[in-house]
Amino acid sequence: MLHGKLVSRGRLAAAALITTVTFAAACAPPPPPLTPQQQVDTIIDYVEAVRGHSFVTRPDVEFVPDALFQQHVVDSLTGAQAGLDIDEVAFKALGWMKPGDDLYDKYRTAFGGSVVGFYDPVSKVLEVRGSELTPYRREVVAHELTHALDDQLFDLNESYGDGVLNEQQIGFLIGVEGSAVRVQRSYVANVMTPLEQVQNVLEQLSFQIDPEIYSVPIALLSLSQTPYLQGPEFVGGLGGNAGIDAMFSRYPTTAEQAWDPAKYLANEPAEAVAVPPADGTVVTSGTWGQFLTTLILANGISLDAKLNPVTDGWAGDAFVTWTAPGESCIRIDTRSDTAAQATALRSELSTWSAGQPDASAVSTDATTTRLSACVPTP
């Protein structure tokens, strides 16, 4: 999975003894620095302690030169193309990308050069870019080692749908990344010194930015960061390691569950909503969810992965995308708990629709709002 803290105390009472010990320590040679593999061993111990489990087999962390590592990352992205080609219709219909652009190309631009480490649950490979375990790389290793541990215990080689607009896949990623970010944050806070924490931040700020990143749809960048932002919030409401362990056998199935651990723990289901009609050749259909509706209202921008309050009362939904000669389209039917909540949602979606070339938000019944949007495409 692409990614691009213990203290002991003591006291000496005699001043003479302190002087002697201090003098002796000043004369003693400093301990040799830990090798990268020794540093990995200490991170493994920490991950096991925080997650409350031991590795079944010792994970192998491979240090890979920059050019080869980047090629491995690019190679790992090829499997996403089919799903992104499907998602492209919705991205264009919602105005999240230029009609003539290719979503998969933008995906490769976004991730091809920015990743520092990854764990592959298929090959079980954990790779780190470069050979030096700097503070930031140690943080990344703690994150990816958590994936490796969770995979050994619970099998992360699963998929709940293709692309980046699948609500169940988003829920899966929020659970998986939430576990890893929880350990990662603990490692930074409890193991790294204040100086190392500063070095960590400076290292992240020093990465060169590919100018092409500015051509990547902001909605794609928002979606890529959401599991890392909402994940720790979600797992933080599960009651510790026992609740996280149980989550690996039942991931959140809706955004409502992924953003409200209480509803997840109660296993609150969504209401079934019929897929709305399409006015052309159907590309895909499924559920949309509160977060993607929030993303529509924010024109694809999500800096903190918070839900728009107007989506409160979400009860269920269904969407369909289609193509027709010269256009790409999407239609979403959203059911709210009450007529008042449906009215509030429809009002916000109508305001959004007014800024689009061909979009509308109407009622199909007292609690259901239908959003339709199309854009001309080459």
Interval 93-116: pLDDT, tens: 999 999 999 999 999 998 877 789
Residue 14: is its pLDDT beyond 50? no
Residue 3: per-residue pLDDT: 52
Give the separation between CA 29 and CA 345, rounded to whole angstroms: 68
Q: How far is CA 13 from the centre of its chain?
A: 51
Share of the chain above pLDDT 70, in %: 92
Residue 8: per-residue pLDDT: 29
Mention every residue, 6+ apart, whose C-beta is less than 8 A from residue 187: 5, 43, 46, 47, 50, 138, 139, 142
Nearest by Cα to 233 from 172, 146, 175 = 175
Query: Could you tell me if 323 and 99 are in contact, meaning their C-beta atoms sit under 8 angstroms apart?
Result: no
101 or 131: which leads in pLDDT = 101
pLDDT band at 378 (very low <50, low <70, confident <90, very high): confident
Reported pTM: 0.89
Average pLDDT over residues 314-336: 97
pLDDT in tens, 276-302: 999 999 999 999 999 999 999 999 999
Nearest by Cα to 219 from 315, 148, 297 = 297
pLDDT band at 27 (very low <50, low <70, confident <90, very high): low
Task: Count other C-beta atoms under 10 Å from residue 46's C-beta.
Answer: 20
Give the separation between CA 156 and CA 159, rounded to whole angstroms: 9
Residue 29: per-residue pLDDT: 66
Residue 259: per-residue pLDDT: 98
Nearest by Cα to 91 from 370, 295, 229 = 295
Give the separation between CA 354 and CA 356, rounded to whole angstroms: 6
Question: In the β-sheet with 359-365, what is the strand arrangement from edge to edge?
Answer: 281-286, 314-324, 327-336, 368-376, 359-365
Residue 306: per-residue pLDDT: 95
Ranges assigned E (strand) in 289-326: 314-324
Give the separation between CA 7 and CA 191, rounded to whole angstroms: 9
